[in-house]
Amino acid sequence: MKIASILSPQRTLCRLQANSKKRAIELAAQFIADSDSRIDEQELYRLLIAREKVSPTGLGSGIAIPHCRMANCTGIMGTLITLDQAVDFEAMDDEPVSTLFILIVPEKAMDAHIEVLSMIVEKFQHPSFRDRVDAARNPDDLYLAAISDVI
């Protein structure tokens, strides 16, 4: 599976202004709900925050992958957001997070959930991939950086 199969240019956002993890997730949920009428903003926010309470999704190196399963989700959906300022996300390396890849999967798609999470983590382990994503200054460039197969 490739990122291009779950991400679209309409679900990329650059330099979102948020001053905390909670606010970043709130604004991300709003952005996602605005781009897809099947997604309820409040429900998505509640699910993402609940997941963060179980175990923070900050990977390290400035990356977090907030994720959840939703009952009304019909397919795997990714959203890539960069933040204007890095925020504390309780990452494993204690570094603040400036890039969020939000992943929403159908409620019963447990195997697909794990598979896609692994693929995203693997991509973000490459410094050149992180650098391209971080260098993007508009949603189109961010999308192109994310779907590039060049590592």
Catalytic residues: 67
Amino acid letter for position 54: V
The rounded distance, in Å, linking the Cα atoms of 12 and 146 is: 9
Overall residue count recorded for the chain in this entry:
151
Alpha-carbon distance of 85 to 69, in angstroms, equals: 28
Closest CA relative to residue 40, chosen from 49, 30, 48, 50: 30
Helix (H) or strand (E) segment spanning residue 69: strand 67-70
The alpha carbon dihedral of 13, 17, 18, 23 has a sign of negative
